[in-house]
Every structure is written in C-alpha cells, then in structure tokens.
Amino acid sequence: MKRIATINAESLTDYHRAFLLVSRIATVFACLVCLILLVRFAVRVVDPSVTPRLVELKQSLRAANDDEATRETIREEIRTLDMQSRVAYFDRREFARVGAWLLLGAVCVAVSTARTASTIQRRAPAIPSATAPVNDPSTMESLQSITAVIGFAVGVFLFSSWLIFSDHSVLPRDAMELAALFPDDNPGPTVVVATSVEQVVEPVTDSTIDSEVLPKVEEHRQQWTRFRGNSGDGIATESFVPPAFDVASGEGIRWKMELELPGNNSPIVCGDHVLLSGATEDRRCVYCYAASNGELRWQTEIPITAPEQASDEHEAAELTVNEETGYAAPTMATDGVRVFVMFAHGDVTALDFKGKILWTRSFSTPHNHYGHAASLVVDETQLIVQLDHGSSDEPLSKLMALNCRTGKTLWSTPREVPASWSTPLVIEYDNETQIITCANPWVIAYRASDGEELWRCDALYQDVGPSPIARDGVLYVANENPGGTAIRLGGSGDVTETHVVWMIDYGIPDTTSPLLVGDMILMLPSFGTLTSYDIATGGDPLWEVDFDDSFRSSPTFIGEHVLLIGVSGKVWLITVTREGCETVMQSDLGENCLASPAVHGGRIFIRGQKHLFCVGES
C-alpha cells in the first residue's frame, strides 16, 4: 500500500509540473500578444480627410468645375485612396479584435491550468499523513505563481475587453461619409441599414444593389426634393402638357390613394418615391408611395418627444394649431439618401428610403399662434431649419443647419424676428451659397457655410407666409402687408435704402408664394385674383383675372402652362402672356386642397384633403 501511494504521489507531481508548464507557456504567449497589440496600437492611423494627398484632390475637384473628364478622374482617385485606407485600417482593427480574443483565450488557459496545478499540489504529499508546514517553499512558490497569474489575467482581461469595445473608426466607413468630406463628389451607390435611432451604413457592390437604390447626384437635381421643387421657385424642370383629367371618371388619373392622417404639407418626389407626412395631436406618420402605381411602399410612425426630453433652451409652449396649418404643415425634404420631416411639435426626424428612423432632434413646442409651417430645405450635406416663433417683444427665433447624416447642429444663428411661416430659399450668389429668410420686418441673407448674416432689408410686416424667389441677381418677396418688393442681391448690413428695386401694393398674397413666368411675376392672393407685374419695373399690374375660388396652394409653372389649385379642389391649367391669361383646362379634385403640387416624370402629384392624386397618362 505504501508503494502504491508513493507511485500515485509521483504521478500527481508529474501532472502538477505539466499543468504548471502549460500555464507558464500560456502566460508567456499572452505577454507576447499583449506586447504586439500595444505596439500596433501605438501606431495611430491618420484620418484620410486631413492627409495632404486627399486635401489636394479635394481642391483639384472643386477647381475643375467645367472639365467633367478631369472631375471623374479625380473622383476615381479619391475612391481608390479611400478604399485603400479603409482596407488597411479595417485589417488593423481585425488584428486587434483577433488579438484581444487570443489574449482572453491565453488568460483562460493560464488561469485554469495554474488552478489545476495548485489543486494537484495540495493532493500530492509524499506521505499521506504528513502535513506541509505553512512556510514550505513549494507551497509558497505555488501560491505566488497563482497570485501572479491571476493578477496578470485580470489586467489582460481588462485591456483586451477595452480593445474589443473601443472599436471606433476614424475613417469614412463608406462612400456616403466620404461624400460628406467632398460635397461636389459622386462616390457611388450605398445601401443604408438603420436601427430606430442609430445609423449604420454599409458599402455595397453593384451585384447587391436592389430596387431601392437612390438616384445619382445629377439625377437628384431633377427631382422635386422640397417645397415648390428642387429650386424652391415652383418651376418644373421638365416640359410637358398636363393631360385633361376628371376624378369622377378616372380620365387622366394615373392613380389615387386614400390618406390615413391629415396634413397640409405638399408631396415631394425622389425617383419612384412620393413622400408626405400626416399627423394629429397624438399621432404622427410618414408615408412613401410608389410614383409609378401609387402602391404604399411603407409608412413609419414617428414618436412624439416628451417636453422634458427636448433639447432646446426655451420653455415648451402649449401646442396651438389652426385648421389651415394643422400638425403636419411643413413639407418634407430629401438629400437623395435620407428624407427629413418636421411637425408642429418642434421635432425633426431623418429616415432612410426604407422607412427606418435614423435620428430625431427635438426643439420643444414652438411658441406659434397658428402652428409651425416653415418647410425644411437641404443644402448639400446640411439640413436648414427656419424656426421662427415667439413675439416681437421676446423673439425666440433662430436659423439652424443640422448635419444630414447625424442630426448634430452645425451652426445656429439667433433671429430678432417673431413667428413666421415662410420657407427659406437657398441660392448661389457671388461665388457662395446663401440662405434667404423672410419674417417681420426683415428679409435676411445668411452665409450657408457658417450662418453669418450678410445683409438685411426692411420689407415685410405682420404675419409673413409667402416664400421668396430669385432670378438673375434679384430677390422677390411678397406679403399682404406692405406688398411685394424686388431686392437686388449683395451688399452688407441694412440695404433697405440702397438695394430695393421696386415695390408694389396691390393683389399681393398672404399665403401663396409668387411665381416667375418669362418677364412677368404672378401674384395670387387668397381671394383668387391672379395679378401679373413686369419683373423689371413692378409698377401697375399688366393684368388681373379673377378665379372662382380661394387659394392656399402656390401656382406652379409646367412647360408653358401655369397650374392653379383652389381650396375647394377646383383646378385650372392656364397660359399667360403680357396681354392676359387663357384657360386651357379646368377640372375638380372633388375635395379640398391646401397643398402645392409636385411635378416629376411627366406626372403631377396633388395632395387633397383625403387622397393623394397622380395626374398623368396611364
């Protein structure tokens, strides 16, 4: 029996040594992996947006305005450089992830084998009845080894966990993020996949692109991307003769879809997507229809932000709207990758073209006695929000630019004006992008890049609803009081005494926006008298014609015709000359209409009180 006990003790001692050796090897391996990771981590990857070569390419791209071949060559080099940088960087990140898991594995092996060796050591005395003294060297060595391994394991575990969970890239993760660095570039298609609040963008190849891929930049410029079209002037970029239509018989109606929620915003169109929003006091929704056949592609419920969650500084007001404004008055906007919507509650939300919410910003309920109605506008990579509210005594208004991709505020400029309902206009003038806003009493121009005020003109009084338009260096604004004004662009400070070209005071709209047709400007007040003025001189009206309806929908120019839609749903298609106007077609939607139409692809999209109509040949 004694011999057997001796043999068993010797076997256990051999196992102890083997497990202790494995533990030490695993510890050494973990140390080597940790050292390599530290060295690799110390070599930082530079953000490609600030590398000299990429900055040089950016400048070259902007300089080659008229040479499309050169621009395409530069774009290709940018894409190649971006791909090489991302491949190298993601390889490095993958190495860090693999190394971190190797560290964890080595630590687990080291700890488990050391623990096993310690257990065997306690079970392997030479004589079973003998008791090892407390200060036995073998016991002390075992305890010190186990303590060191466990301490090292905890440190490595924390370090590797930090490597795994601190996986943040400094590079553009896709072509869309690269496009944000180079606004003029067209980096190619991407597919957007999003959760409820966070956006994840994955680059795709041509073989993975589905029917939801969005138009390219040059195609996007031909869409109806905002209130009154891509340029905000109510002029369609395509020329066609709208067909005669009759809602009752279906003649000339390509499709007609019933709307679930009310809303006075106008539809926008991007590719085969027609988008609009609807809302009540306790519900908000965005709808996307197929432009080709009216099929409902998707609808997304937009949660209402609680007042205590709002990000704005002012105290939330009690929400007040009237019937002609409603809870969904602002027209949506799109940059071709995302769609943006705003409601009377003061919330701005971005969605992708599959209806997924990407981000939401809340600016608290506006202090607006009619309800917020100014529509959203996109300027390249930033979303422009004109949030005019409050009173003249205590103005709370501001003009903001939000990052289209993230929703973060790029700049915010306070405005010393009360509540207004006019939509801002984005124009190019004097080699820079400017944003024109209208409110009582100021027409103000801001630099789009930083929100700095450029000039202002005292030209508007009382409640301001009509939106501005511009052509050939002249801005045209209108409001029932004091009237219409033509303002020469440029200057600085208060240009009221130096840049006003002319003023008119008859037949001026209080809600609809003016329309430029040839050398005339058309004004359509709510009471329905269409009035024409000479664009160069203003002066007395060239002519005025009464239409048997009241109007909230702004006139729209299509080819050689002007489309008018009355509140009761009556529709007129007219031609205008300096001598007068002639009705070409008259119809009736059969329901009220307060929204302005959208025009795209040889079709007209009209939002009525209960239905969305598509007018066009089948």
The 3-state secondary structure of 143-210 reads HHHHHHHHHHHHHHHHHHHHHHHCCCCCCCCCHHHHHHHCCCCCCCCEEEEECCCCEEEEECCHHHCC
Q: For residues 35-57, give the mean pLDDT.
A: 62
| CA-to-CA dists, residue 44 to 40, 96, 171, angstroms | 8, 13, 12
pLDDT for 383-427, tens place per residue?
A: 999 999 999 888 899 999 999 999 999 999 999 999 999 999 999
What residues pair up with 572 in beta bridges, in sequence order?
Answer: 564, 586
207 backbone dihedrals φ, ψ, rounded to 5°: -70, -15
The 3-state secondary structure of 498-509 reads CCEEEEECCCCC
Cα separation, 527 vs 552, in Å, equals: 10
Between residues 93 and 265, the one the model is more confident about: 265
Helix, strand, coil fractions of the chain, as percent rounded to 5: 25, 30, 45
Cα separation, 284 vs 271, in Å, equals: 24
| CA-to-CA dists, residue 145 to 113, 115, 153, 241, 370, angstroms | 12, 10, 12, 89, 77
pLDDT for 10-28, tens place per residue?
A: 666 777 677 778 778 878 8
In the prediction, which pLDDT does 201 show?
33
Cα separation, 150 vs 343, in Å, equals: 57
| CA-to-CA dists, residue 51 to 19, 125, 195, angstroms | 51, 67, 32
Amino acid type, 95:
F
Indicate the angle between helix axes 2-42 and 137-165, nearest 10 degrees: 30
Amino acid type, 427:
I
In the prediction, which pLDDT does 154 show?
62
Q: For residues 461-484, give the mean pLDDT.
A: 96
pLDDT band at 465 (very low <50, low <70, confident <90, very high): very high
Task: Name the CA radius of gyration of the chain, rounded.
Answer: 34
pLDDT over 50 (residue 168): no
For the chain, percent of residues with pLDDT exceeding 90: 56
pLDDT band at 83 (very low <50, low <70, confident <90, very high): low
What is this structure's pTM? 0.67
In total, the chain counts a number of residues equal to 618
Cβ neighbours of 395 (radius 10 Å): 18
Given the DSSP bridges, would you call strands 453-458 and 493-494 parallel, antiparallel or unpaired?
Answer: parallel
The residue among 598, 541, 528 whose CA lies nearest residue 570 is 528
3-state secondary structure of 484: strand
CB-neighbour burial class of residue 507 (10 A; exposed 0-12, middle 13-18, buried 19+): buried
pLDDT band at 210 (very low <50, low <70, confident <90, very high): very low
pLDDT over 70 (residue 114): yes
In the prediction, which pLDDT does 51 show?
60
In the prediction, which pLDDT does 144 show?
59
Cβ neighbours of 46 (radius 10 Å): 11
Between residues 117 and 173, the one the model is more confident about: 117
